Amino acid sequence: MTKLKRFLRSSARPALKLLVASLILSSCSSSTTPTYPTESMAEAIEDVSRKEYNTQVSARLVGQTLWVYVPVEGLLERAQKPQKYTEKFSAEHDTKDIADSGIFKIRYNITPISEKEKYQLYTYNKEAVEKINGVWRVLRRVIFSTDRRTGKQPVFFCFVTADIKTGFEVRELFYLLDLKKLYYEYISWGEYQHRATQESTVSPEIVGDRTGAHLDYRDVTMKEFIVKQINHRIQLKFQKPEVEQSADIDKEILKIAVHTIRMYNFRDFSVLQLDNAFTRRTLVLNSDEVWANPVVE
């Protein structure tokens, strides 16, 4: 299970996102009219997935967050032709939101290392991908066919794919306006990949769970989403990687945090704190300084 979790970061994650992209972008020209009331979105996703794709899923609307749980058996498989990639950084990071005090605290230990060639040994199982793609089609249809007059449309969507044989799980969280911007080509697919966060985990609770009983269903807040996105962008920046080893790591982390906060016009915080565990340096900016900082310009 540990190997599966490790290889997702370098292999399976990009494969899944590209498949989802083809589903979203290939259907951009289709017209939709309001069909599903907000309060019945979850039931509609379950019904259509079962009837049209013979796939059992569980969906639940909590506040303005819609959860979709897709159980599969055998999510990853050994790649027949492993792709080579280069590891350039040792990257550990921990992004936390201290809600009581309104602090965004980012702790990281990122250092350049001697370049190592590695191989992406795992990829997604084709049968599992077909099932996931079917549910994504249903989700897209329901999202763009919801009658907002019947209630507040969900703001966040948490799409959970769980391998109930191995206990391996992938959670993707995305913001409705980001999806619409992609759909109407206001942002690129690459930018959407940075905005839609992904997290993976391995847990014995997932094994055999066909209904998502192990999930902590809750209404995601904008603050939580921004925290997750900062974490996700750091991971892409240094594990993909997107920068050269000569990059100023502190400046890159600051750019990520400030850019993400500004992008969503989020002001409900008091302090942004960056802790470099390697150099033991700390940078603290208050809310006004975050908005005035020229580092992202």
Tens digits of per-residue pLDDT, 132-159? 999 999 999 999 888 776 667 899 999 9
- Cis-peptide into 71, omega within 30 deg: no
Kindly state whether residues 46 and 140 are assigned to the same domain.
Answer: yes
Is 31 strand, coil or helix?
A: coil
Kindly state whether residues 137 and 159 are assigned to the same domain.
Answer: yes
Kindly state whether residues 251 and 266 are assigned to the same domain.
Answer: yes
Kindly state whether residues 195 and 262 are assigned to the same domain.
Answer: no
Kindly state whether residues 176 and 100 are assigned to the same domain.
Answer: no
Kindly state whether residues 33 and 135 are assigned to the same domain.
Answer: yes
Q: Which residues pair with 98 in a beta bridge?
A: 103
Is 188 strand, coil or helix?
A: coil
115 close to 88: Cβ distance less than 8 angstroms:
yes
pTM of the model: 0.87
Q: Which residues pair with 77 in a beta bridge?
A: 123
Q: Which of 216, 249, 266 is the last residue of a domain?
A: 216
Is residue 287 in a domain?
Answer: yes
Kindly state whether residues 104 and 139 are assigned to the same domain.
Answer: no
Kindly state whether residues 45 and 148 are assigned to the same domain.
Answer: yes
Q: Which of 216, 238, 257 is the last residue of a domain?
A: 216
pLDDT band at 14; cut points 50, 70, 90: very low
Q: Which of 216, 249, 281 is the last residue of a domain?
A: 216
- Cis-peptide into 241, omega within 30 deg: yes
Q: How many domains does the chain have?
A: 2
Whether residue 218 has pLDDT greater than 50 = yes
Kindly state whether residues 161 and 132 are assigned to the same domain.
Answer: yes
Nearest C-alpha neighbor of 99 from the set 262, 242, 295, 268? 268
* pLDDT at residue number 35: 80
- For residues 63-87, give the mean pLDDT: 91
Which residue range forms the structural domain that includes residue 287?
A: 88-118+229-296
Longest CA span, the chain? 57
* pLDDT at residue number 55: 96
Kindly state whether residues 50 and 138 are assigned to the same domain.
Answer: yes
Q: Is 283 exposed, middle or buried (0-12, 13-18, 19+ CB in 10 A)?
A: middle
Task: State the chain's mean pLDDT as an integer.
Answer: 86
Is residue 224 in a domain?
Answer: no
Kindly state whether residues 43 and 165 are assigned to the same domain.
Answer: yes
Whether residue 196 has pLDDT greater than 50 = yes
Is residue 161 in a domain?
Answer: yes
Whether residue 240 has pLDDT greater than 60 = yes
Whether residue 15 has pLDDT greater than 50 = no
Kindly state whether residues 190 and 51 are assigned to the same domain.
Answer: yes
Is residue 80 in a domain?
Answer: no
